[in-house]
Structure 1
Amino acid sequence: MRGPGVEDRERSFALAHRANELMRDYGPSARPRAYAVWYSYVVGDTPHLNDAVKRLTAEGGGLTDADVDALYETHIDSRRLATAAEHMTAGLLGEIEGITETLDLSLGSATQYGESLKAFTDNLAEAALNRARLRELVNALVATTRQVTADNRILEGRMRDSRKEIEGLRETLEATRVESLTDTLTGLANRKHFEDALTRGIAAATAASPFSLVVLDIDFFKRFNDLYGHLTGDQVLRLVAIVLREHVRAPAFPARFGGEEFGIILPGTGIAEAVKIAERVRVGVMGRDLVKRSTGESLGKITVSLGVATLRAGDTPASLLERADMLMLAAKRQGRNRCFDDASAGIARVA
């Protein structure tokens, strides 16, 4: 007779087998992320992921590496962070409940001690109080005082332990919050963080405080992935992120918001200065030699195309982003490795 543990084991292997079949038939590879996506698809516990997979496979006949990354980050990684946050919230609520209980005990102890003092005062007022009775009352008060002192030491210890635990939970929660806003591959802000920052920045912008946005896309990125593999593609993305961190300073805000698309939010920056920043980034990327880590082979240089848009009256986050994106696409159509901006009606700049 087989127990439930055996049945669960056989079911998990059957699910894994089906996930492997789908991964083989619909691609793109057997990377851990791809397996996680297809296994979750087979299990069926994430309906939105299943809908997205069906749509993508219907449109393209399979999944690309970029599709897998987007599915993983949107439906699996975000769920993990939400679960971690739920666990920490439960832990924090447990600690708060413990503190409340400790305070209740402390208040009860203080009330009891107050009642003892009142009784002592009342007894002192007795007309027939003698030395023996006075000694009895004093001894009782001393015993009560000692008990209250001992209880307070215990309560203080509990409060110290709770404080340490809450501080640890706070630090973990902050780390999880930062992780939820960070692109794990490049360390830059992710799409959610980018969209939130763009919305806040536009809301805060005024006529006296200009606001600009740069969108950049890696040229021929798919070719790098096809020729050298996904790991080299990841290396290209990290290289661009390094250049962005070198040339973009606060309050400017760099982010990776798509597969090979990056953005730079530039509060308080007019179009002329925004173009200068974009050009520094473009030249900085072009000045790096890409070397395949596994072999030391030189893969040459990479380039980026950029679009620079400045905030206009009536702009929304979506319209500003769309305009910067269209300028970036115009730069690609004109030969790539260029920077187009809306102030100069799309004049290409090539160093």
Structure 2
Amino acid sequence: MNGASHEDRERSFVIAQRANELMRDYGSSASPRAYAIWYTYVSWRLPPMNEAIKRLTSKSATLSDGDIDKLYEAYIDGRNVEGELDRHNAGLISEVQNIMEMIDLSLGSTAQYGASLQAISKDLHNTTPNRLKDIVATLIANTRDVAASNKTLEAHMRESRREIEGLRETLAAARLESLTDRLTGLSNRKHFEEALNKEFEEGDKSLRPTSLILIDIDFFKRFNDQFGHLTGDQVLRLVAMVMRETVLSRGATLSRFGGEEFAILLPGSSREAARTVAEAVRTTIIGRELVKRSTGESLGKVTISLGVAQRRSNDSVVSFMERADACLYAAKRSGRNKTMDDTEVEEFSHVA
């Protein structure tokens, strides 16, 4: 057994021990599902699930078997998020159809009421006192019917509004999950590309500056090969944490763009401002020491290389990305642990 495999094995034992402690402390049965939930919680592989567990335990300080089943089905059994979105969309469509049917019924009763009024209006021109009494009685009865129908419609509409609001919240949560990188909690590539395309659409109208920072972890494969994938995940989470701590721009999009690649989109930021952000992220990361959680052993420093580009008037999404990417790889070719921007890089060539 090599050193990396031994370390992964020891790490798994530490996680397992902590998972067993949490199962006992929070009152859930020692079922395979409960073990899977708590093992995943301790290893921090699914940040959205961890947040859900924190919300549940803050209310009752326990996790019931029902809670365990719901968490397992939501986060571990591999359900397709897009399928879940489709299911909730179908529920929303069904609820809207119900509302339309109720409105159609209401319109029908209103149309009938209008026709009745027209008929009564004609009768009023040539009527007797006795006939007038019958007309008034009919008018009162029809008015009561319409009032009852409207009252029923109002009650249904209020209930449907509550249903639609609940579906809307569920859809928003499911969409957020579909756009989030589970390991780091940052936006995923899909969300990043949506934000970038949206910025190009809005930026064309506002003419505001927009800058892009691309980040790559130096020698990331070395961490994985030497210390194992759990340590590699720890490195990825460290970079994500520093990005969240450092980037304070309200409109920024922080993304894990690829395996060990990250991106920061900064609408409204100039190249100079973006470079300042990039340097802050770089120096903060190199100032942090990576520590093996199970033993406290120091695993050394993590460094990153960064490329910064500001959008130009003739840029497309592709050319903007390519220029930032060229700056990133120029930083790597120059010795890594550097930030380079598109005023420094004249020839945009791609070197792996």
| AA in 1 matched with 2:242 | V
Q: How does 1:67-78 map to 2 (within 5 A)?
A: none
Q: Distance in 1 between matches of 2:344 and 2:112?
A: 81
Match of 1:149 in 2: 147
Equivalent residue pairs, number: 268
| AA in 2 matched with 1:176 | A
Alpha-carbon deviation of 1:214?
Answer: 1.7
| AA in 2 matched with 1:181 | L
Mean alpha-carbon deviation: is it higher for 298-307 or for 135-144? 135-144
Alpha-carbon deviation of 1:321?
Answer: 2.3
Q: Distance in 1 between matches of 2:212 and 2:200?
A: 10
Alpha-carbon deviation of 1:294?
Answer: 4.1
Mean alpha-carbon deviation: is it higher for 92-101 or for 305-314? 305-314
1:280-304: CA deviations, max 9, x gaps?
Answer: 0001111223233444444333111
Alpha-carbon deviation of 1:258?
Answer: 0.7
Unaligned residue ranges in structure 2 (runs of 5+): 1-76, 347-352
* Larger RCO, structure (CA 8 Å, separation 6 or more): 2
Match of 2:279 in 1: 279
Q: TM-score, normalised by structure 2?
A: 0.65
| AA in 2 matched with 1:261 | E
Alpha-carbon deviation of 1:220?
Answer: 2.2
Match of 2:243 in 1: 244
Match of 1:229 in 2: 228
Distance 1:96 1:342, change over 3 A: closer
Q: Is the CA contact 1:286–1:303 (under 8 Å) kept in the aligned structure 2?
A: yes
Distance 1:110 1:321, change over 3 A: closer
1:131-179: CA deviations, max 9, x gaps?
Answer: xx55554444433333332222211111111222222222222333333
Distance 1:332 1:112, change over 3 A: same
Q: Secondary structure at the match of 1:337?
A: coil
Greater Rg over alpha carbons, structure: 1
Q: How does 1:245-324 map to 2 (within 5 A)?
A: 245-248=244-247, 249-312=249-312, 314-324=314-324
Q: Is the CA contact 2:274–2:308 (under 8 Å) kept in the aligned structure 1?
A: yes
Q: How does 1:91-240 map to 2 (within 5 A)?
A: 91-130=91-130, 135-202=133-200, 204=203, 209-240=208-239
RMSD: 3.1
Q: Distance in 1 between matches of 2:106 and 2:268?
A: 54
Q: Secondary structure at the match of 1:263?
A: strand
Q: Is the CA contact 1:205–1:211 (under 8 Å) kept in the aligned structure 2?
A: no
| AA in 1 matched with 2:157 | M
Q: Secondary structure at the match of 2:290?
A: strand
Q: Secondary structure at the match of 2:80?
A: helix
Unaligned residue ranges in structure 1 (runs of 5+): 1-76, 347-351
Q: How does 1:308-347 map to 2 (within 5 A)?
A: 308-312=308-312, 314-345=314-345
Alpha-carbon deviation of 1:238?
Answer: 1.7
1:36-72: CA deviations, max 9, x gaps?
Answer: xxxxxxxxxxxxxxxxxxxxxxxxxxxxxxxxxxxxx
Q: Distance in 1 between matches of 2:165 and 2:278?
A: 41
Q: Distance in 2 between matches of 1:201 and 1:126?
A: 71
Q: Distance in 1 between matches of 2:261 and 2:335?
A: 18
Identity of counterpart residues, as a percentage? Answer: 56
Q: Secondary structure at the match of 2:142?
A: helix
| AA in 1 matched with 2:105 | L
| AA in 2 matched with 1:320 | F
| AA in 2 matched with 1:153 | K
Match of 2:58 in 1: none
| AA in 2 matched with 1:243 | V
Distance 1:147 1:252, change over 3 A: closer
Distance 1:327 1:122, change over 3 A: closer
Q: How does 1:4-153 map to 2 (within 5 A)?
A: 80-130=80-130, 135-153=133-151
Q: Distance in 2 between matches of 1:221 and 1:324?
A: 20
Alpha-carbon deviation of 1:240?
Answer: 0.9
Q: Is the CA contact 1:78–1:180 (under 8 Å) kept in the aligned structure 2?
A: no
1:225-266: CA deviations, max 9, x gaps?
Answer: 233332332222122111112221233332211101011223
Q: Distance in 1 between matches of 2:206 and 2:110?
A: 61
Alpha-carbon deviation of 1:323?
Answer: 3.1
Mean alpha-carbon deviation: is it higher for 233-242 or for 107-116? 107-116
Q: TM-score, normalised by structure 1?
A: 0.66
Mean alpha-carbon deviation: is it higher for 276-285 or for 84-93? 84-93
Q: Distance in 2 between matches of 1:127 and 1:274?
A: 85
Q: Secondary structure at the match of 2:103?
A: helix
Q: Is the CA contact 1:191–1:258 (under 8 Å) kept in the aligned structure 2?
A: yes
Q: Is the CA contact 2:327–2:345 (under 8 Å) kept in the aligned structure 1?
A: no
Mean alpha-carbon deviation: is it higher for 207-216 or for 180-189? 207-216
